[in-house]
Amino acid sequence: MTLLDTDGVRLTVDPDHGTLATVTLANPGKRNAQSPALWRALTEAGRRLPGSVRVVVLRGEGKSFSAGLDRQAFTPEGFAGEPSFLDMARGPAAELDATIAAYQEAFTWWRRPDVVSIAAVQGHAIGAGFQLALACDLRVCAEDVQFAMRETSLGLVPDLAGTHPLVHLVGYARALEICATGRYVRAAEAERCGLANLVVPGAELADATADLAAAMLEAPRDAVIETKALLRGAIERDYEDQRVAERAAQGRRLRDLAGLGE
């Protein structure tokens, strides 16, 4: 069941149970290069996600997951019908901030508490493509994957909500080195340092992602939601606060299982 198909983004939902959605970057001819129109479409995909969906798979058609921002963004003319990035830079600071915040929305909804998101990543995941993979909760990678954060090399910074998950996955020092050098992180290193949950041959990427999605759907939804919230919160809480959060979450689950509700 297709709910959205526009500007290089396609959203489909499993018609049998409605619990699994797939968002596809569907412009393989340009290696799924990104643009403001694509970001708006990704944001809209998040808004159209049915409440029944529990797992969202993000994939890219073709040889590359996403080659990052379309270089046309840096030309004087920019994208047709869009203000160029150079023109935006010359405008009021508040308008520039609001524009970047709108772009970031395409990268934030993947971590919402009621779904688990899985990126299936093959080939290049560069810049904005890397940050889109980082936006997801989990990453299954093909053996040919090549992550790179090229923004710093262009005189920019990663600004699409990718720095927070990157630091928490690989640590500050490695994150700084990856971003400042713009080098490639290939499959073996990605798995070793925590960027990839699983690395498989390219021919097995779709099946491995489907298997992981199915495993995520096995447990009761409310238990997964509570567990995800606990683990996300553990990043910010100290040990004692986390113990308190665990007790509160378990109390809610036990009362629910006993039919008592809140």
Q: Range of 227's domain? A: 221-257
15/84 same-domain check = yes
141/237 same-domain check = no
* Residue 142 resides in a domain: yes
The confidence score (pLDDT) of residue 87 equals: 84
- What is the domain-level CATH number for residue 16? 3.90.226.10
CA torsion sign for 191, 197, 201, 202 is: negative
* Residue 227 resides in a domain: yes
* Residue 50 resides in a domain: yes
232/119 same-domain check = no
The confidence score (pLDDT) of residue 261 equals: 67
The confidence score (pLDDT) of residue 158 equals: 97
237/136 same-domain check = no
Q: How far is residue 116's CA from residue 113's CA, in Å, rounded to a whole number?
A: 8
70/102 same-domain check = yes
88/210 same-domain check = yes
* Residue 88 resides in a domain: yes
36/132 same-domain check = yes
In this structure, the strands spanning 116-121 and 124-126 are unpaired
Q: What is the pTM of this model?
A: 0.94
* Residue 203 resides in a domain: yes
* Residue 62 resides in a domain: yes
What are the residues whose beta carbons fall under 8 Å from the beta carbon of 250, sequence distance 6 or more? none
In this structure, the strands spanning 20-25 and 9-13 are antiparallel
131/211 same-domain check = yes
Q: What are the φ/ψ torsions at residue 56 (nearest 5 degrees)?
A: -120, 125
23/51 same-domain check = yes
Contact 55, 22 (CB under 8 A): no
Domain total of the chain: 2
102/137 same-domain check = yes
The confidence score (pLDDT) of residue 168 equals: 95
What are the residues whose beta carbons fall under 8 Å from the beta carbon of 128, sequence distance 6 or more? 34, 66, 68, 69, 160
69/190 same-domain check = yes
The confidence score (pLDDT) of residue 82 equals: 83
Q: How far is residue 169's CA from residue 119's CA, in Å, rounded to a whole number?
A: 15
Sheet of strand 146-148, all strands in order from the earlier edge strand to the far edge? 124-126, 146-148, 185-186
The confidence score (pLDDT) of residue 77 equals: 77
- Successive 10-residue mean pLDDT values, the chain, 262 residues: 97 94 97 96 98 98 96 80 84 94 97 96 98 98 98 93 96 98 98 98 98 96 96 94 97 92 64
Contact 129, 32 (CB under 8 A): yes
212/225 same-domain check = no
Interhelix angle for 221-234 vs 239-257, to 10°? Answer: 170
* Residue 262 resides in a domain: no
